[in-house]
Each structure stands twice: as structure tokens, then as C-alpha cells.
Structure 1
Amino acid sequence: MIATTSKPPADHPVLPALLSRPYPAVMGVLNVTSDSFSDGGQFSAPEDALAQARRMIAEGADIVDIGAESTRPYGGAQPVSVEEELQRLQPVLGDVVAFGTPVSIDSMKSAVVAWALGAGAAVANDVWGLQRDPDMAKVIAEHKATVIVMHNRDRADPAIDIIRDIEAFFARSLDIAARAGIPGSHIVLDPGIGFGKTPEQSMTVLARFDELREFGLPLLVGASRKRFISTVTPSEPHQRLGGSIAAHVLAARKGARIIRTHDVAETVQALRVAAAIEERR
């Protein structure tokens, strides 16, 4: 078993610099897994993962989001133990931190998050929004880390108003965060495109995205290669770059401040060109 650390690192002022620009920050996805929906197995070897991290940073990634357990939104992922998740992360995370770009740990397990934050990660990306692991909020508060609170559901329900469901979920998560001592300045909200949603609901979230600005917190969107794109133009995950960029540019216009993507260079270019055009208004 790999031991976790209980010593919090120094506070990481991740958000202010990233959110002060006219275009959103870009979070590059690095999955050190075998079964992620889009890039499973491509970066399982540490040398491949490190090369990909370097590539994304060179292409303009502002944050590198490392995940060692697939949380593929449409099911079929194999759960892994804390020990296995840590074994996948240990050869990679510290070296990526050393590159100097903020690192996010994408995990739903507080023990994994505690280890990663102790090893220098600055952000905890929780796909269950502090509502699944009872120790998650405490760990994040102790490390003074930034947290991405993502909306999720065990299963999609096409009958619900998905925006109202997300709002209620976020309200619960923010209450948990406040009781744990996580300041609002350390919180980012993610509506969880594809997670616990039908493809139609994912598109509804993007269409009504500006309604989520009522919380007054930075919003993240991760539409990269998601299945809803294929319902419009049938395609495999690696064929969905155009749809991903369209969704992300529209989300940025509606207030998204962080974009999570597998395709960093193309997304950076699209967001910066869109922002430059908007400035000419």
C-alpha cells in the first residue's frame, strides 16, 4: 500500500491569474488509465503520460488534469482500488507537478486526493461534487486546495428539468463545502456534461449555461468528445473535435471560465480567436 501524506502544502492561488484574462483557461486531460472512453490506454505508461503532459503544456494548457480511474460518463468503467489508483499516479504526478503548470487530480476518493495534494497538486476535481466520499471536503479544506464541484447522477432521467437538478445539487455541495471550511474563492462549478444526463440534456445544459452564473462562481465545461456530439453528427470519440470546439466556444460566450479538453492546441486557438473577434465589437 502507498502511504498518503497528511501534511498540507502551501496554499495554491490557482484561480485569480487564470480567470483574469479575456478568454477561458484551458485544462488538458491526462488519463493514465486503460479504459477511459476516449483515450484509454494511450498514456498508461509513465513515459507516454509525461510526454503528453509536456505536449499539452507546450500547446497552452493552463492546468493538467490527471486521472487514474476511468469515470466514463456512459458506464462500463471498471472501478479500481485506492492502492491501484495511487500506483498509477505515483510515477507520473510528481514529475508533472515539477513542470510548473498547476496540476489537478481527477479522483472521487479522498485518500487519493489527499496523497495527490500532498504531492503538489493544486486542484481536486471531484466528479461527485463532494457528495459521495464523506471525507472529501475535509481533505480539500485541510490542504487549502481549489475544488471543482461537478454535477452527477447515478442515472439519467429524461423527465426532469436538468438545470433545476444541477442547481439543487450545487446548493447541496456548496453547503458541504461551507461546513468543511472551503472558501468560495476556492470553488469552481462544473455541470458535468454527459454525466447522469441524456445527450439531449447535455445540449440543454450548454444552451442554458448562463443560468448557472447565478451562483457567482467560476464555471467549467468539459464537452470534449462527448457522446451528445454523435447524436448530431454520428462519430467516434476521436472524430468529435469540431463538435467539441463548437460546444466550448458557445459555453465560453455564455460564461465558462475553464474549458476541459483532450485537444489542447485546437481549443486554445479557437478560444483565443473567438475572444479576439468579440473584442472588435
Structure 2
Amino acid sequence: MEDGNTEIQQSYNPKTLAKTLIVVVGPTAIGKTALAISLAQFYQTEIISADSRQFFKEMHIGTAKPSVEELAAAPHHFIDSHSVKTLFSTGDFEVQALQLMETLFKNHDRLIMVGGSGLYIDAICKGLDDLPEIDLNIREQLNQQFATEGIEPIKKQLEELDPAYYAKVDQANPQRMIRGLEVVLSTGKKLSSFLTASKKERPFNIIKIGLNTDRALLYERINHRVDLMMEAGLLSEVESLLPYKQYNALNTVGYSELFNYLDGKSDLESAVVLIKQNTRRFAKRQLTWFRRDEDTAWFEPNETNEIISYIQNKLKA
């Protein structure tokens, strides 16, 4: 986390203006947590996590949660808030986060939201679309198919039936893949066709900050982070979660590859290589998602002062 905000910090004077949510987005391993903490300290406010994996209290190392020191540096919400055994949907997050923000805005003019889960960010900034009723028998059939055959047949069918949704969905997340397929099989309409509703009005302003850097450097950071996770005991963490491996929350990068290793489907070295590869692919999809939003201003991760200056100018506008 950066220092060096003293000069700017002295010029900050909270005003009674419209409430503002400052959103920090970007690919995994880019430095979003450090920036969010710097902004929370600067604006003397609190952080709402919009990382769909950091909600779960059983998952620590593989989700790159903020450290104990980082959590102590600024108040955080939606970290370790749910169990992997609990179904916590994007819609649940929209409802709960908006309720929390209403409370927090009573004491703060600014709030910070940070995360790499684009759908969760959109749920707060734009609102979710009203989706159709699903045939629960189809959902059960797809869940059984996933349990017996894995995700590949579901991915293939979704790509054929709804290529637009397939192109932007997190393909490492079986729950979202199944969601897309169950909609088209239940209704005959593509889920992507329901994702075009107009943006919902929110009672606060939104400023979006994106972090990115040279792709080679980002991939180097990702590879290094995976090495650090393994050194920190990721394999032991995954072993401890074996009783819960059937839950959707654990069908994700960093966990599924090591479950396969523990099941004897690969050697450890290959599993680690695959974690790095899948994480790099995930980062690429994150950037594709966030770049489509023209309201996001992009910066290098070390440009903390420039980011604060940009936000200050936006607040004055």
C-alpha cells in the first residue's frame, strides 16, 4: 500500500454533497486491495468487497483475501460473511449490499467498493435484470450432469445455445454456466436477451477507477502470487476443504485444480501450472468485462496520487 498522499490529504475537506460510491475494479493480482485501503483512509470511510470468492469464510489463501493488517487498516464488509455451504447469489448481494450502503451513507459521504467480479459490481451500479422463472427439474438435471460428467458438456451446450452469454460469463464458475443453460432450456430464450434492461437509478453518484498494467507484467504478478499461495499452504487449505468440494463456491480457480491433484488426476507441478494458466485467462476475461464500461477511468496500480486527484476533480464537477 502506498504512502505519499500527505499533500493531497491536507487539501481534502469533506462537504455535504451527494453521496458517492467510489468503485475500484481490475484484474486479479493488480493491486486493488492496496488502492482501496488508501482511498478508504484518505476519505475516512469503509470498504465493501465485491469479490465473489472472498465472501466465503472457509476460503482464505486461494482467494487472496486482505491480510489481517490490511483488514485492520480500514473497515471491510463482505469478507468472510458467508459459508460455502450457503447459496449466496448475485441478487442476494445486490439486496444486502444496498441495505448496508444505506446505513453506511448515514455516517459517510464516500464509500469504497472493490472487486474483480464484474457481475457483482454491475448489480450495485446498474441493478440486475428481472429474470424468468426456471424449471427446477431442468436445474436439478444440470446439477446432476455436472456432478457426474463435469462442466465441459455444460460449457459446450451453453456455447452453442447462447454464445453471447458464454463469451462474457466466468467460465470457471459452474453455477453461472448452469444458470445460463437452465434459462435457455427452460424458456427457449437466451439469458443474454434478458440482460439488456435499462440501468436502475441509484440514490448515489458513482466514480469508477480501473487498474491495469502491461500484460507481461500482470502475468508475472499472477504467477508470483500463485507461487506465494502455494508457499503459504494453499494445498493444505484445499485438503481441509475436501468434505465441501461438491459446493459450487469451491469449483473455482486454485481449488478445482488441486482437488484434481488430490483425486490423482494430475501431478502437483501440472496442477500449479494449470492454476497459473487459468488465473491468467480469468484476468483476461475480467479486463474484457470492465473495459466495456466507458465510465471507468484507467490507471497504473502505482498512481495513487493521480487517482485521488481524478476523484477530487470528479467530486467537484
TM-score by length of 1: 0.33
Higher relative contact order (CA 8 A, sep 6+): 2
Greater share of helix residues, 1 or 2? 2
TM-score by length of 2: 0.31
